[in-house]
Structure 1
């Protein structure tokens, strides 16, 4: 049912912000909020000071709070994935007793690389199964709750693994990992669903890169922590600490984070209006809009992202599950192995953050088109990674191995602001759906790579590792070429509301402000904001007029 909107109350599109706001003050507007909008690299940034009892109180934008805790959740759940990778050393290496200080508290089981590979693959098989349903669930359910609950479930199951591993309950361990994969399959789609509402287009490169950096920063914490805990305390406490940290995060998350800005009781009116204005209609949901599955699945640009995600997961899962075992060939202690395994991921985090700032700067200055920028960053990331993996095939020095492994893993960070953020370019409204599809393709690679790595390194010979690196290089280059040919940075035609239907906005009982108020705020913005938003503002203004016309016809 369409909401009733009085069109006579709407400001004309030429009404300036100063006139509107001055009128609010003269009419006794209840809030005294000083808004100062400044130009920062071509984008509009907000600085707010709320006057209460004559004193100025600082306000931390809620979109930054949400982004921070989303990134922390991503970091913790991915750090939990490193537990098996480090513990595998004690399961595979009979000489691990000499590499730890607490020798009385090691697993009694001894597995082969095939056993460890199957354990890893069972997780990613579950991870694959829930990806496509996750895209649909992010459209009909609150993404913040999906994100929190799936991490809670996986963390709770993590407490079972020390018991099942130590008591040689191998198939039960595989079942636990499979269920963990089912749960974590919703992490990425729900994360993109959250950021759809909580990031503005002008800040999206930095915000999304920072949040996704959490998954790449996880080994920086996970590997050293697991190494030191195993070395000095006991291997089973690795699982208890990481699972407990996720549960603590979940409690904080559910207390502080809300699905949308309009649901957040702590957000200021200024920030709410800023997000609504900058996002345009992509933040609105309509009852009579269906997900264009066929168009999405046949889009060359989406298929290019599928190829990139498959290559990304192949490399990422290969590293996160096998890196400690690979470095174990160079006679490091378990604690040293944990620290050295984290170094490549430090570089990747720094490259990811740098890529986010580069992307936002270039887009703000309009130095390159969005398509050219995404392809450039993807080329630097994938191309540099391929070269480094090739060098690793004939490098024997431990120092050189660490250096080129660091460069190879780290260079990928630049591509985060290339292909990985590209989902928002193609279809902001369906970003969660796109991620579920591309991540499902990536999950296939995640299932296969542990098995391939386990077979090639069954005897832990360097020739097997070299073959694995050759295969990896070929996969990454293939994905890069596919993206260069079919990738796009433009919003796709199927991402926009069809012009021949009446738009009926979903009624949101939790929203702080009705839609008609948002329309008024949409049309009372500064010329600077209009200029910075460009086509987004114009397109949304046209959509507003269509919605009002349809609303009037429905009411008649």
Structure 2
């Protein structure tokens, strides 16, 4: 205990940090006893990683495919020095991104890009709650399966009718909306506290790797003559989603106690850290009024909204920016668009590993760690996007700033992303559904706002600077709110009947409850 007593802990609540230190010692002793070549929670992490990689492949493919789908009648970029535009590169005009099959306006294009999120935000809360009550295995798995089905149907819908395409994309979002809250509910049952930030970084980073792989492949597929080129982006990745679902059904279980092949010592370690998941099913209705008045929950929600606005500005609009402003051809566009997601994955894993390590060492409290890394995940990407606004036509500077900013954006997994489990383990899925639904409103709000800022007839650097300024301001303001009001204390409404007992009981009795 002396090593913890001598550590420069910076939390105001010293008693709470001592309790955390004791918990860390007990967990470190347990983890040394955990044996086995491949732990079952590692298999969960791998399959969850692949699942997020596939759903993001099915989401991001449209951002590239739409460049080939739309017949852009926008006049060729002018080299008139009086206009705030970048000079066109004659070599890049040998490709055919302007010969698309659909004559959609800029507003229609923004509507298509945002349509996925119309459905996505609706199933966040139901997905989290159903996963809490009945387990996350089928909720997560079926969410990806039906997303794959609607992805395969997307080209057929696009050829049929513009509004039919919008509906199919919204249905794909409806199916995918359950995935994040369902996984959050599973992590609450499977992953001990000291592993959560790092584990979440690995699992949720599947979204970054899926994007890294999908963008260049989609760009290449769009150049093919076979099957029209761009429809392959939907057929191939949708098919992978169906194959993944079969593996998920056979390998994954709702909780450690239900897994038939898990090592007994792994169950002992997990149950000793977070309790028996099968004995702690929710026994009380959702405290909606408590959610509404929970300021720390609002802090998470607002922080996620700020970071999502920056993310979705980059996610849905950067391929268009590279095409119309920086004048990359569609293949170069896709490959360079993937770089920020690669750095986000690397940065997320490295930064979250450091975050868990510093907490385990007792050098910083969990609350201050979350505030620190959330600030890193907000400020540096915001300043990066401001730098892009003034980098102008310097393609190298734009990609360098975007990639560096994205690397630090991965720190959000050690920031607000796992904060829900601290506030209420049994309602973590529902709360994540609430905050993720709110933040993903930005998925269609950001393209909608951009569609009104950017003029179709002549896009300029000045117009895009307004887009970047707005994104940075929202992100920075949201982080300030999180710094003032975030908390890691379990709320008094989280557990029925035994809140006082839980708060005052020794840590050993919490980690090893009597049967």
Q: TM-score scaled to structure 1, two decimals?
A: 0.79
Secondary structure at 1:259 match in 2: coil
Q: CA deviation at 1:166?
A: 3.5
Equivalent residue in structure 2 for 1:537, among 483, 494, 508: 508
Equivalent position to 2:208, from 216, 235, 255: 216
Structure 1 position 39, deviation (Å): 8.7
Q: 8 Å contact 1:146–1:190 — kept in the other structure?
A: yes
Q: Aligned to 2:344, which of 336, 344, 348?
A: 348
Q: 2:378 maps to what in 1?
A: 382
1:45 matched to 2:31 = yes
Instruction: State how far apart, in whole Å, the 2-side matches of 1:389 and 1:240 are.
Output: 34
Partner of 2:82: none
Alpha-carbon deviation of 1:62? Answer: 0.5
CA deviations on 1:194-219 (whole Å, 9 max, x unpaired) are 11122112211211111111123322
* Structure 2: gaps (5+ residues): 1-23, 77-90
1:187 alignment partner, one of 155, 166, 179: 179
Aligned to 2:101: 108
Per-residue CA distance 1:278-304 (angstroms, 9 max, x = gap): 113666324633332221221110000
Q: Say how many residue pairs are matched.
A: 468
* Residues 48, 189 of structure 1: alpha-carbon distance in 2 compared, 3 angstrom cutoff: closer
Partner of 2:223: 231
- Gap change, CA 1:489 and 1:232, over 3 Å in 2: same
1:82 aligns with 2:60: yes
Counterpart of 1:331 in 2: which secondary structure?
coil
Q: Distance in 2 between matches of 1:217 and 1:535?
A: 42
Counterpart contact for 2:137–2:254, Cα < 8 Å? yes
1:142-170 deviation digits (Å, cap 9, x = unpaired) = 21101010111111111121122234x10
Structure 1, unaligned stretches of length 5 or more? 1-37, 50-57, 504-533, 549-556
Q: Which residue of 2 aligns with 1:269?
A: 264
Output aligned runs, 1:102-501, within 5 Å: 107-167=100-160, 169-232=161-224, 234-280=229-275, 284-286=279-281, 288-328=283-323, 329-396=325-392, 397-459=394-456, 460-499=459-498
Is the contact made by 2:304 and 2:439 (CA closer than 8 Å) also made in structure 1?
yes
| Alignment CA distance shift 1:464-1:276 (3 Å) | same
RMSD of Structure 2 on Structure 1 (CA): 2.8
SS of the equivalent of 2:489 reads coil
The 1-side partners of 2:506 and 2:454 are apart by: 53
Q: Distance in 2 between matches of 1:63 and 1:432?
A: 18
Residues 279, 323 of structure 1: CA spacing in aligned structure 2 closer, same or farther, 3 A cutoff? same
CA distance in 2, matches of 1:148, 1:178: 19
* Whole-Å separation in 2 of the counterparts to 1:296 and 1:432: 13
**Residues 346-386 of structure 1: per-residue CA shift (max 9 Å, x gap):** 11111110122112101111111111000000111101111
Distance 1:222 1:453 in 2: 24
Distance 1:536 1:458, change over 3 A: farther
Q: Give the Cα separation in 1 of the matches to 2:244 and 2:153.
A: 19
Structure 1 residue 122, shift from structure 2 partner: 2.3
Larger radius of gyration: 1
